[in-house]
Amino acid sequence: MINKENYQLVLEKVQLKEANLVAVSKTKPQEDIQALYDLGQRVFGENKVQEMVDKQKALPKDIKWHLIGTLQRNKVKYMIEFVSLIHSVDSFKLLKEINKQAKKVNRVVDCLLQFHIADEQTKFGLSYEEGVALLASDAYKEMQHVRIVGVMGMATFTDDKEQVGKEFETLTAYFKTVQQDFFADNESFKEVSMGMSGDYEIALDKGSTLVRVGSLLFGARVYS
């Protein structure tokens, strides 16, 4: 069951900031995705490749599928033909594999560099230095089949709004310096993916262009 009121509310706030909404549908049934689709939503986020592949086959073909979670290299090939944006590039090896698979199907696949901004050890992502080293490398410059269109990050899971706000500011600062240093003439580098159900309003205030909201729209997830 989707929550229409929350959908309208989130959409309004997102549009007010000229940002975009990724509806995170992981673990949720196809009927729920179809229901949100019928209200006009076209961008959906999943964190498991197999689940995304199954849903892509069954649902309308104009849905844009975003992969938002930790991605194993050996899974890239299963979604390479249709994935619209990969939010979670957190290593050079992963980017290399995406480039290799995208070449096989003659695509250029959009990706975000995921940066570590939380104070928790458990959250993945590149350090700022690692991200810069990747972008400065010759091996990256030779990749013809990936296009890096921005950055992504996850804040610490905490009620401390000030801390969350600071972490989002850090990601926006990373975005700005990377844009200046590597993408100065490149208008496609424009996305800052940050904000989830609990913190998307803070993220919008701090410059998010893509919020990834799940449970507010679809209800709490139940993991068995």
Ligand X SMILES: *Cc1c(COP(=O)(O)O)cnc(C)c1O
By CB under 6 A, name the one of 49, 52, 68, 80 that touches ligand X: 68
Q: What is the helix (H) or strand (E) element at residue 57, kind and residue range?
A: helix 49-58
Task: Burial-class residue 16 by CB neighbours within 10 Å (0-12, 13-18, 19+).
Answer: exposed
Q: Which is nearer to ligand X, 17 or 26 (CB)?
A: 26
**CB 10 → ligand X: shortest distance, Å?**
10
By CB under 6 A, name the one of 95, 196, 204, 210 that touches ligand X: 196
Q: What share of the chain is helix, strand, coil (3-state, %, to 5)?
A: 45, 20, 40
Q: Which of residues 106-135 bind ligand X (CB under 6 A)?
A: none
Q: How far apart are CA 203 and CA 169, in angstroms?
A: 9
Residue 137 is encoded by which pair of tokens? 């490398």
DSSP 94: H
By CB under 6 A, name the one of 3, 34, 179, 215 that touches ligand X: 215
Q: Are 123 and 162 in contact (CB under 8 A)?
A: no
Q: Say whether residue 210 binds ligand X (CB under 6 A).
A: no
Report which of 128, 131, 83 is spatially closest to residue 109, judged by C-alpha positions.
83
Please choose, out of 55-63, 71-79, 101-109, 210-218, the segment that lies near ligand X by the rule CB under 6 A: 210-218
Q: Say whether residue 197 binds ligand X (CB under 6 A).
A: yes
Q: Are 156 and 199 in contact (CB under 8 A)?
A: no
Q: Say whether residue 192 binds ligand X (CB under 6 A).
A: no
**CB 215 → ligand X: shortest distance, Å?**
3
# residues contacting ligand X (CB under 6 A): 13
Q: Which of residues 13-52 bind ligand X (CB under 6 A)?
A: 24, 26, 47
- Give the binding site for ligand X (CB under 6 A): 24, 26, 47, 68-69, 154, 196-198, 212-215
